[in-house]
């Protein structure tokens, strides 16, 4: 019988075994030395690494065109690991308001540690050169952004970053690697909340960082030090999600496009944000750097105030009122009341979000059923 934990029966099982072991027996002191010196593949302790997790990392890396990938406990753990790995006191970090709101809390911690931070609107990305400093070490963006689906030109940002030798990090959660590969556009690193479309079933939390082998080694050191290694069971769920990822991503994008086109014509929707629409300000750039569609998330304003948005959401039957995105189910929420609670009230609307803005994540439902649900709920507004 094989001693390899991934091939315990001598030939490879169709599903990667869930290795729940926290620690491992050493065959000899020489084997221990070879493992700890990195001369041979092996495992010592779960905080260091896990064979189930490592197998999923090997599957994720090529999806982003990366040499390797690090999987950790959550999407925010992935972002935090990037900041802790590459930033030091006195460094300057550029963040965009149009990133996941929890990064605001992390920014407060970074500032306490001596990192200087500038916040920009994604609409200002074309003029980022004016905000660069000699000590700018990192530009961190999300495209399409959360929640307004603003599009940032990754190649242009990389060109700007190069002028001060800064690192460009792109959160690719909204686009997913099905529609966009930021590394090929010039990003140094890509991060994901794998809780979303990569996992896709509302039953796991995980984060991913993809990049070079050198970056993997640096990020592995941080993960091992702070203890953010994913558990084996969640890694197994993530691997299961990857098996249907392409099918789900394609359907979610098609559903989002259809709903966006319907809503763009509706008189009770004064604004819609989706890069797949010709009228969207980011459409031209999105067509240049995205393929196979424009992602499964859209945002739009309902009526004239928040009560209109609440009435609309309460009237939905199929689309579910819940946070998160990228799931098999279609999910909707009011960002001002949910995903943006991490931000002070005055900051929640400073970059275009309104109190009646809703974010809709398309699932894999039949398209016509989603349109019907939107139509009947809007009649109640």
Nearest to 327 by CA among 223, 248, 234: 248
Asked whether the predicted pLDDT for residue 3 surpasses 70, the reply is: no
pLDDT of residue 1: 43
- Coil vs helix vs strand at 167: strand
pLDDT of residue 303: 98
- Coil vs helix vs strand at 342: coil
User: Pseudo-torsion of CA 15, 20, 23, 28, nearest 10°?
Assistant: -30
Asked whether the predicted pLDDT for residue 380 surpasses 60, the reply is: yes
Q: Residue 162 and residue 263: Cα distance in Å, rounded?
A: 40
pLDDT of residue 69: 98
Verify that 154 and 261 share a domain, yes or no. Answer: no
CATH number of the domain bearing residue 217: 3.40.640.10
Verify that 251 and 361 share a domain, yes or no. Answer: yes
List C-alpha distances in Å: 38 to 19, 34, 69: 21, 6, 17
End-of-domain residue from the set 188, 217, 243: 243
Asked whether the predicted pLDDT for residue 202 surpasses 80, the reply is: yes
Q: Catalytic residue among 98, 171, 215, 373, which?
A: 171
- State mean pLDDT over 166-183: 98
Q: Residue 281 and residue 271: Cα distance in Å, rounded?
A: 12
268 is catalytic: no
Verify that 48 and 132 share a domain, yes or no. Answer: yes
Verify that 180 and 258 share a domain, yes or no. Answer: no
Q: Residue 343 and residue 325: Cα distance in Å, rounded?
A: 19
Residue 8: phi and psi, rounded to 5, are -70, -15
Verify that 193 and 67 share a domain, yes or no. Answer: yes
- State mean pLDDT over 218-234: 98
Q: Catalytic residue among 86, 100, 178, 274, which?
A: 100
**Residue 11 placed within a domain:** no
37 is catalytic: no
- State mean pLDDT over 190-202: 98
Length of the chain: 381
Task: Read off the tokens for 320.
Answer: 């579910």
pLDDT of residue 124: 77
Between 35-39, 56-60, 288-292, the lowest mean confidence (pLDDT) is in 35-39
Verify that 303 and 262 share a domain, yes or no. Answer: yes
Verify that 39 and 72 share a domain, yes or no. Answer: yes
Between 35-44, 98-107, 156-165, 200-209, the lowest mean confidence (pLDDT) is in 35-44
Per-residue DSSP letter, 377: H
- State mean pLDDT over 125-141: 94
Verify that 196 and 228 share a domain, yes or no. Answer: yes
Verify that 279 and 205 share a domain, yes or no. Answer: no
Q: Catalytic residue among 150, 181, 196, 354, which?
A: 196
pLDDT of residue 142: 97
CATH number of the domain bearing residue 263: 3.90.1150.10
**In this structure, are residues 274 and 252 in contact, taking their beta carbons and an 8 Å threshold?**
no
pLDDT range class, residue 180, cuts 50, 70, 90: very high
Look over the chain and give the mean of its residue pLDDT values, rounded to a whole number: 95
Between 119-123, 203-207, 218-222, the lowest mean confidence (pLDDT) is in 119-123
- State mean pLDDT over 106-129: 92
Q: Residue 101 and residue 307: Cα distance in Å, rounded?
A: 23
pLDDT of residue 347: 86
- State mean pLDDT over 71-94: 98
**Residue 325 placed within a domain:** yes
26 is catalytic: no
pLDDT of residue 123: 81
Q: What percent of the chain has pLDDT over 90?
A: 87
CA angle (171, 173, 174) in 5-degree steps: 110
pLDDT range class, residue 5, cuts 50, 70, 90: low
pLDDT of residue 336: 93
**Residue 24 placed within a domain:** no
**Residue 19 placed within a domain:** no
Verify that 305 and 353 share a domain, yes or no. Answer: yes
pLDDT of residue 2: 54
Q: What is the pLDDT of residues 11-35, one digit of tens each?
A: 778 899 999 999 999 889 999 999 8
End-of-domain residue from the set 243, 260, 285: 243
Q: Residue 202 and residue 327: Cα distance in Å, rounded?
A: 6
305: containing domain: 246-378
Verify that 237 and 252 share a domain, yes or no. Answer: no
**Residue 3 placed within a domain:** no
Alpha helices (H) in 194-329, listed in sequence order: 213-226, 232-243, 245-264, 283-289, 306-314
343-359 in b/e burial notation, b at 16+ Cβ within 10 A?
Answer: beeeebeebbbbbbbbb
Q: Catalytic residue among 26, 43, 47, 287, which?
A: 47
pLDDT range class, residue 10, cuts 50, 70, 90: low
Q: What is the pLDDT of residues 304-350, one digit of tens each?
A: 999 999 999 999 999 999 999 999 999 999 999 998 888 888 888 88
- State mean pLDDT over 68-78: 98
Nearest to 374 by CA among 323, 334, 317, 329: 317
pTM > 0.85: yes
**Residue 206 placed within a domain:** yes
- State mean pLDDT over 114-139: 92
**In this structure, are residues 64 and 210 in contact, taking their beta carbons and an 8 Å threshold?**
yes
Nearest to 146 by CA among 189, 197, 70: 197
How many domains does the chain fold into? 2
pLDDT of residue 126: 78
End-of-domain residue from the set 210, 243, 276: 243
pLDDT range class, residue 9, cuts 50, 70, 90: low
Q: Residue 59 and residue 55: Cα distance in Å, rounded?
A: 7
CA contacts within 13 A on the Cβ side of 237: 18
Task: Read off the tokens for 58.
Answer: 């090997």
* Residue matched to tokens 């790995």: 85
- State mean pLDDT over 81-88: 98
Verify that 232 and 338 share a domain, yes or no. Answer: no
Asked whether the predicted pLDDT for residue 125 surpasses 80, the reply is: no
47 is catalytic: yes
**Residue 147 placed within a domain:** yes
- State mean pLDDT over 23-52: 91
**Residue 16 placed within a domain:** no
């Amino acid at each position: 019988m094989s001693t390899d934990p991934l091939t315990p029966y001598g030939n490879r099982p169709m599903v990667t075994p869930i290795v729940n072991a926290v620690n491992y027996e050493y065959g000899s002191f020489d084997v221990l030395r070879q493992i700890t010196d990195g001369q041979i593949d092996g495992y010592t302790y779960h905080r260091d690494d896990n064979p189930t997790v490592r197998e999923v990392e090997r599957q994720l890396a090529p999806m982003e065109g990366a040499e390797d990938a690090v999987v950790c406990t959550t999407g925010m753990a992935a972002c935090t690991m990037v900041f802790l790995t590459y930033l030091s006191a006195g460094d300057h970090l550029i963040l965009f308001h149009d990133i996941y709101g929890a990064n605001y809390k992390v920014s407060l911690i970074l500032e306490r540690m001596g990192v200087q931070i500038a916040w920009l609107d994604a609409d200002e990305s074309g003029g980022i050169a004016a905000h660069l400093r000699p000590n700018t070490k990192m530009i961190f963006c999300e495209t399409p952004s959360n929640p307004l689906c603003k599009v940032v030109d990754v190649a242009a940002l990389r060109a700007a970053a190069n002028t001060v030798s800064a690192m460009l990090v792109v959160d690719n959660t909204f686009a997913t690697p099905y529609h966009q590969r930021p590394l090929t556009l010039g990003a140094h690193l890509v991060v994901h909340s794998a809780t979303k479309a990569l996992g896709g079933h509302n039953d796991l939390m995980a984060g991913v960082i993809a990049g070079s082998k050198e970056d993997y080694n640096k990020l592995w050191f941080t993960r091992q030090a702070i203890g953010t290694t994913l558990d084996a069971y969640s890694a197994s769920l993530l691997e299961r999600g990857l098996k249907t990822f392409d099918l789900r991503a394609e359907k979610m994008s098609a559903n989002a496009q259809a709903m966006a086109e319907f809503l763009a014509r509706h008189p009770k929707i004064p604004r819609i944000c989706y890069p797949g629409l010709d009228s969207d300000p980011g459409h031209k750039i999105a067509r240049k750097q995205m393929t196979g569609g424009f992602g499964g998330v859209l945002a739009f304003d309902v009526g004239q105030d928040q009560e209109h948005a609440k009435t609309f959401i309460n009237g939905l039957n199929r689309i579910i009122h819940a946070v998160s995105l990228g799931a098999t189910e279609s999910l909707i929420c009011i960002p001002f009341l949910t995903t943006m609670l991490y931000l002070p009230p005055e900051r929640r609307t400073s970059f275009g979000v309104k109190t009646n803005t809703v974010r809709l994540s398309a699932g894999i439902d039949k398209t016509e059923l989603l349109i019907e649900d939107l139509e009947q709920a809007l009649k109640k507004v």
